[in-house]
Amino acid sequence: MDDLKGRTAVITGGASGIGLALAHRFGAQGMRLVLGDVEAPALKQATAELHEAGYEVVAEVIDVREIDDLKRLEATAREHFGNVHVLCNNAGVGGGGAVADMDNLASWKWTIDIDLWGVIYGCKVFLPAMIEHGEPCHVINTASMAGHIAPPMMGAYNVSKYGVVALSETLTREMQMDQTNVGVSVLCPAFVSTGIAKSARNMPDDVAAQLPDNSESEEGVQSIIEALVDGGIDADVVAEAVVDAVHNDRFWILTHEQTARAIVERANSIAAGENPSLDSTFS
Protein backbone atom coordinates (compact mmCIF):
# COMPACT_ATOMS: atom_id res chain seq x y z
CA MET A 1 0.00 0.00 0.00
CA ASP A 2 1.74 3.14 -1.21
CA ASP A 3 -0.54 5.87 0.14
CA LEU A 4 -2.28 5.45 3.50
CA LYS A 5 -3.65 8.99 3.73
CA GLY A 6 -7.41 9.09 4.17
CA ARG A 7 -7.68 5.34 4.68
CA THR A 8 -8.88 3.62 7.84
CA ALA A 9 -6.96 1.46 10.31
CA VAL A 10 -8.56 -0.74 12.96
CA ILE A 11 -6.36 -1.65 15.93
CA THR A 12 -7.35 -4.02 18.72
CA GLY A 13 -5.42 -3.65 21.93
CA GLY A 14 -5.04 -0.03 20.83
CA ALA A 15 -5.00 1.64 24.23
CA SER A 16 -1.39 0.92 25.15
CA GLY A 17 1.88 -0.70 24.15
CA ILE A 18 2.33 -1.75 20.54
CA GLY A 19 -1.29 -0.96 19.72
CA LEU A 20 -1.04 2.69 20.79
CA ALA A 21 2.32 3.04 19.02
CA LEU A 22 0.66 1.70 15.86
CA ALA A 23 -2.13 4.23 16.22
CA HIS A 24 0.37 7.10 16.41
CA ARG A 25 2.34 5.80 13.41
CA PHE A 26 -0.73 5.22 11.24
CA GLY A 27 -2.19 8.55 12.35
CA ALA A 28 1.00 10.28 11.25
CA GLN A 29 0.48 8.66 7.84
CA GLY A 30 -2.89 10.43 7.60
CA MET A 31 -5.02 7.41 8.46
CA ARG A 32 -8.31 7.50 10.35
CA LEU A 33 -8.16 5.34 13.45
CA VAL A 34 -10.56 2.88 15.06
CA LEU A 35 -9.37 1.55 18.41
CA GLY A 36 -10.69 -1.34 20.44
CA ASP A 37 -9.51 -2.31 23.91
CA VAL A 38 -10.83 -4.01 27.04
CA GLU A 39 -9.23 -1.45 29.38
CA ALA A 40 -11.70 1.46 29.43
CA PRO A 41 -9.66 4.11 31.31
CA ALA A 42 -6.56 3.50 29.19
CA LEU A 43 -8.66 3.62 26.02
CA LYS A 44 -10.20 6.95 27.03
CA GLN A 45 -6.74 8.38 27.71
CA ALA A 46 -5.32 7.02 24.44
CA THR A 47 -8.22 8.46 22.45
CA ALA A 48 -7.73 11.89 24.02
CA GLU A 49 -3.99 11.70 23.32
CA LEU A 50 -4.59 10.86 19.66
CA HIS A 51 -7.22 13.58 19.28
CA GLU A 52 -4.76 16.07 20.74
CA ALA A 53 -2.21 14.95 18.15
CA GLY A 54 -4.71 15.90 15.47
CA TYR A 55 -5.80 12.44 14.36
CA GLU A 56 -9.32 11.31 13.52
CA VAL A 57 -10.15 8.53 15.97
CA VAL A 58 -13.11 6.59 17.36
CA ALA A 59 -12.93 3.92 20.03
CA GLU A 60 -14.95 1.09 21.52
CA VAL A 61 -14.45 -0.86 24.72
CA ILE A 62 -14.38 -4.46 23.50
CA ASP A 63 -13.32 -7.92 24.61
CA VAL A 64 -11.83 -9.80 21.65
CA ARG A 65 -12.98 -13.06 23.22
CA GLU A 66 -16.48 -12.02 22.12
CA ILE A 67 -17.14 -12.06 18.38
CA ASP A 68 -20.15 -9.78 18.86
CA ASP A 69 -17.81 -7.13 20.30
CA LEU A 70 -15.70 -7.30 17.16
CA LYS A 71 -18.84 -7.04 15.03
CA ARG A 72 -19.71 -3.90 16.99
CA LEU A 73 -16.22 -2.51 16.34
CA GLU A 74 -16.59 -3.23 12.63
CA ALA A 75 -19.97 -1.47 12.57
CA THR A 76 -18.45 1.56 14.32
CA ALA A 77 -15.63 1.70 11.78
CA ARG A 78 -18.06 1.49 8.88
CA GLU A 79 -20.43 4.07 10.38
CA HIS A 80 -17.74 6.69 11.02
CA PHE A 81 -15.22 6.12 8.26
CA GLY A 82 -16.60 3.69 5.66
CA ASN A 83 -14.25 1.04 4.33
CA VAL A 84 -11.52 -0.50 6.48
CA HIS A 85 -8.10 -0.76 4.84
CA VAL A 86 -5.68 -1.86 7.58
CA LEU A 87 -6.60 -4.37 10.27
CA CYS A 88 -4.27 -4.87 13.22
CA ASN A 89 -5.30 -7.93 15.22
CA ASN A 90 -3.06 -6.87 18.06
CA ALA A 91 -4.84 -7.43 21.39
CA GLY A 92 -2.94 -9.88 23.56
CA VAL A 93 -2.04 -11.00 27.05
CA GLY A 94 0.77 -12.98 28.58
CA GLY A 95 -0.19 -16.20 30.31
CA GLY A 96 0.45 -19.86 30.69
CA GLY A 97 1.86 -21.97 33.43
CA ALA A 98 3.03 -25.55 33.38
CA VAL A 99 1.44 -27.93 30.87
CA ALA A 100 1.06 -30.67 33.49
CA ASP A 101 -0.76 -28.43 35.97
CA MET A 102 -4.51 -29.09 35.88
CA ASP A 103 -5.21 -26.10 38.12
CA ASN A 104 -4.32 -23.45 35.52
CA LEU A 105 -6.87 -24.43 32.84
CA ALA A 106 -8.82 -21.19 33.34
CA SER A 107 -5.68 -19.15 32.64
CA TRP A 108 -4.94 -21.23 29.55
CA LYS A 109 -8.43 -20.70 28.16
CA TRP A 110 -8.36 -16.96 28.88
CA THR A 111 -4.98 -16.57 27.17
CA ILE A 112 -5.84 -18.64 24.10
CA ASP A 113 -9.25 -17.02 23.75
CA ILE A 114 -7.61 -13.59 23.55
CA ASP A 115 -4.31 -14.30 21.80
CA LEU A 116 -5.57 -16.76 19.18
CA TRP A 117 -9.36 -16.63 19.01
CA GLY A 118 -9.24 -12.84 19.12
CA VAL A 119 -7.17 -12.89 15.94
CA ILE A 120 -9.41 -15.52 14.32
CA TYR A 121 -12.51 -13.48 15.14
CA GLY A 122 -10.89 -10.31 13.82
CA CYS A 123 -10.16 -11.97 10.48
CA LYS A 124 -13.62 -13.53 10.27
CA VAL A 125 -15.42 -10.26 11.03
CA PHE A 126 -13.41 -7.74 9.01
CA LEU A 127 -12.04 -9.65 6.00
CA PRO A 128 -15.23 -10.20 3.97
CA ALA A 129 -15.92 -6.47 3.56
CA MET A 130 -12.22 -5.69 3.03
CA ILE A 131 -12.11 -8.17 0.15
CA GLU A 132 -15.45 -7.05 -1.25
CA HIS A 133 -14.70 -3.33 -1.51
CA GLY A 134 -11.59 -4.11 -3.56
CA GLU A 135 -9.40 -1.21 -2.43
CA PRO A 136 -5.81 -1.96 -1.29
CA CYS A 137 -5.87 -3.53 2.19
CA HIS A 138 -3.52 -5.12 4.67
CA VAL A 139 -3.95 -7.37 7.71
CA ILE A 140 -1.31 -7.43 10.46
CA ASN A 141 -1.62 -10.25 12.99
CA THR A 142 0.45 -9.82 16.14
CA ALA A 143 2.25 -13.05 17.01
CA SER A 144 5.62 -13.14 18.80
CA MET A 145 8.95 -14.86 18.73
CA ALA A 146 7.02 -17.25 20.99
CA GLY A 147 5.41 -18.30 17.70
CA HIS A 148 8.78 -19.76 16.69
CA ILE A 149 10.48 -20.71 19.96
CA ALA A 150 8.57 -22.11 22.95
CA PRO A 151 9.91 -21.19 26.41
CA PRO A 152 8.83 -23.24 29.44
CA MET A 153 5.94 -22.15 31.70
CA MET A 154 4.41 -20.14 28.81
CA GLY A 155 2.45 -22.93 27.17
CA ALA A 156 -0.82 -21.11 26.53
CA TYR A 157 1.00 -18.07 25.13
CA ASN A 158 3.25 -20.24 22.96
CA VAL A 159 0.34 -22.27 21.61
CA SER A 160 -1.53 -19.08 20.76
CA LYS A 161 1.38 -17.43 19.00
CA TYR A 162 2.32 -20.53 16.99
CA GLY A 163 -1.35 -20.56 16.00
CA VAL A 164 -1.27 -16.94 14.88
CA VAL A 165 1.78 -17.63 12.73
CA ALA A 166 0.04 -20.63 11.14
CA LEU A 167 -3.19 -18.67 10.64
CA SER A 168 -1.30 -15.83 8.98
CA GLU A 169 0.65 -18.11 6.63
CA THR A 170 -2.62 -19.80 5.69
CA LEU A 171 -4.33 -16.47 5.13
CA THR A 172 -1.64 -14.98 2.91
CA ARG A 173 -1.70 -18.07 0.69
CA GLU A 174 -5.50 -17.90 0.46
CA MET A 175 -5.35 -14.22 -0.47
CA GLN A 176 -2.81 -15.04 -3.19
CA MET A 177 -4.84 -18.01 -4.41
CA ASP A 178 -7.97 -15.89 -4.75
CA GLN A 179 -6.02 -12.92 -6.16
CA THR A 180 -7.52 -10.52 -3.63
CA ASN A 181 -6.61 -6.95 -2.75
CA VAL A 182 -5.46 -7.94 0.76
CA GLY A 183 -1.85 -8.19 1.87
CA VAL A 184 -0.90 -9.98 5.08
CA SER A 185 1.86 -9.60 7.65
CA VAL A 186 2.64 -11.45 10.86
CA LEU A 187 4.39 -9.46 13.56
CA CYS A 188 6.92 -11.53 15.54
CA PRO A 189 8.71 -9.28 18.02
CA ALA A 190 10.94 -10.51 20.79
CA PHE A 191 10.88 -8.46 23.99
CA VAL A 192 9.20 -5.05 23.76
CA SER A 193 8.82 -2.61 26.64
CA THR A 194 5.04 -2.87 27.19
CA GLY A 195 2.70 -3.91 29.98
CA ILE A 196 2.23 -7.47 28.73
CA ALA A 197 4.11 -9.00 31.67
CA LYS A 198 1.41 -7.48 33.89
CA SER A 199 -1.54 -8.77 31.87
CA ALA A 200 -3.22 -10.11 35.01
CA ARG A 201 -4.46 -6.55 35.63
CA ASN A 202 -7.13 -7.27 33.00
CA MET A 203 -7.93 -10.84 34.05
CA PRO A 204 -11.63 -11.24 34.90
CA ASP A 205 -12.36 -11.99 38.53
CA ASP A 206 -13.98 -15.33 37.72
CA VAL A 207 -10.80 -16.48 35.96
CA ALA A 208 -8.45 -15.20 38.67
CA ALA A 209 -10.53 -16.91 41.36
CA GLN A 210 -9.85 -20.31 39.78
CA LEU A 211 -6.07 -20.00 39.78
CA PRO A 212 -3.68 -21.38 42.40
CA ASP A 213 -0.66 -19.50 43.67
CA ASN A 214 2.30 -19.66 41.30
CA SER A 215 4.87 -22.36 41.93
CA GLU A 216 8.49 -21.44 42.66
CA SER A 217 9.52 -22.35 39.10
CA GLU A 218 6.68 -20.26 37.64
CA GLU A 219 7.69 -17.30 39.79
CA GLY A 220 11.27 -17.66 38.56
CA VAL A 221 10.27 -17.67 34.91
CA GLN A 222 7.89 -14.74 35.51
CA SER A 223 10.72 -12.71 37.04
CA ILE A 224 12.96 -13.43 34.05
CA ILE A 225 10.24 -12.44 31.59
CA GLU A 226 9.40 -9.22 33.45
CA ALA A 227 13.05 -8.20 33.43
CA LEU A 228 13.39 -8.98 29.71
CA VAL A 229 10.20 -7.08 28.88
CA ASP A 230 11.31 -4.08 30.93
CA GLY A 231 14.58 -4.05 29.00
CA GLY A 232 12.91 -4.57 25.63
CA ILE A 233 12.89 -2.26 22.64
CA ASP A 234 10.50 0.67 22.43
CA ALA A 235 7.05 -0.05 21.00
CA ASP A 236 7.51 2.77 18.48
CA VAL A 237 10.35 0.82 16.84
CA VAL A 238 7.94 -2.07 16.33
CA ALA A 239 5.26 0.23 14.96
CA GLU A 240 7.71 1.73 12.47
CA ALA A 241 8.55 -1.78 11.22
CA VAL A 242 4.83 -2.54 10.81
CA VAL A 243 4.17 0.57 8.74
CA ASP A 244 7.19 -0.26 6.57
CA ALA A 245 5.84 -3.80 6.04
CA VAL A 246 2.45 -2.43 4.97
CA HIS A 247 4.10 -0.05 2.49
CA ASN A 248 6.29 -2.82 1.07
CA ASP A 249 3.89 -5.80 1.35
CA ARG A 250 6.28 -7.75 3.56
CA PHE A 251 4.87 -10.81 5.34
CA TRP A 252 7.41 -11.47 8.10
CA ILE A 253 8.00 -8.62 10.55
CA LEU A 254 11.02 -9.47 12.70
CA THR A 255 12.00 -6.61 14.97
CA HIS A 256 15.17 -7.84 16.70
CA GLU A 257 18.55 -8.54 15.12
CA GLN A 258 18.98 -11.92 16.81
CA THR A 259 15.59 -13.39 15.88
CA ALA A 260 16.35 -14.43 12.32
CA ARG A 261 19.39 -16.33 13.59
CA ALA A 262 17.29 -18.03 16.27
CA ILE A 263 14.73 -19.16 13.70
CA VAL A 264 17.45 -20.56 11.44
CA GLU A 265 19.09 -22.35 14.36
CA ARG A 266 15.76 -23.92 15.32
CA ALA A 267 15.11 -25.05 11.73
CA ASN A 268 18.60 -26.58 11.54
CA SER A 269 18.03 -28.35 14.86
CA ILE A 270 14.76 -29.83 13.59
CA ALA A 271 16.36 -30.94 10.34
CA ALA A 272 19.18 -32.56 12.31
CA GLY A 273 16.72 -34.42 14.52
CA GLU A 274 18.00 -32.78 17.70
CA ASN A 275 15.83 -32.64 20.81
CA PRO A 276 14.73 -29.23 22.13
CA SER A 277 16.73 -27.98 25.10
CA LEU A 278 16.69 -25.13 27.60
CA ASP A 279 20.09 -23.83 26.50
CA SER A 280 19.10 -20.80 24.43
CA THR A 281 15.46 -20.30 25.38
CA PHE A 282 15.84 -16.70 26.57
CA SER A 283 18.90 -15.71 24.54
- Cα-Cα end-to-end distance for the chain: 35
Rg (CA), the chain: 18
User: How far apart are the C-alpha atoms of 69 and 13, rounded to whole Å?
Assistant: 13
Q: Which sequence positions are flagged as catalytic?
A: 157
Contacts of 213 (CB under 8 A, 6+ apart): none
User: How far apart are the C-alpha atoms of 93 and 63, rounded to whole Å?
Assistant: 12
Closest by Cα among 248, 246, 252, 238 to 21: 238
User: How far apart are the C-alpha atoms of 86 and 242, rounded to whole Å?
Assistant: 11
DSSP strands (E only) in the chain:
8-12, 32-37, 57-61, 86-89, 137-142, 182-187, 252-253
- Could you please report the per-residue DSSP string of 11-24? EETTTSHHHHHHHH
- Helices then strands, each counted (H, E), the chain: 10, 7
- Three-class DSSP category at 183: strand
- Ordered strands of the 32-37 beta sheet: 57-61, 32-37, 8-12, 86-89, 137-142, 182-187, 252-253
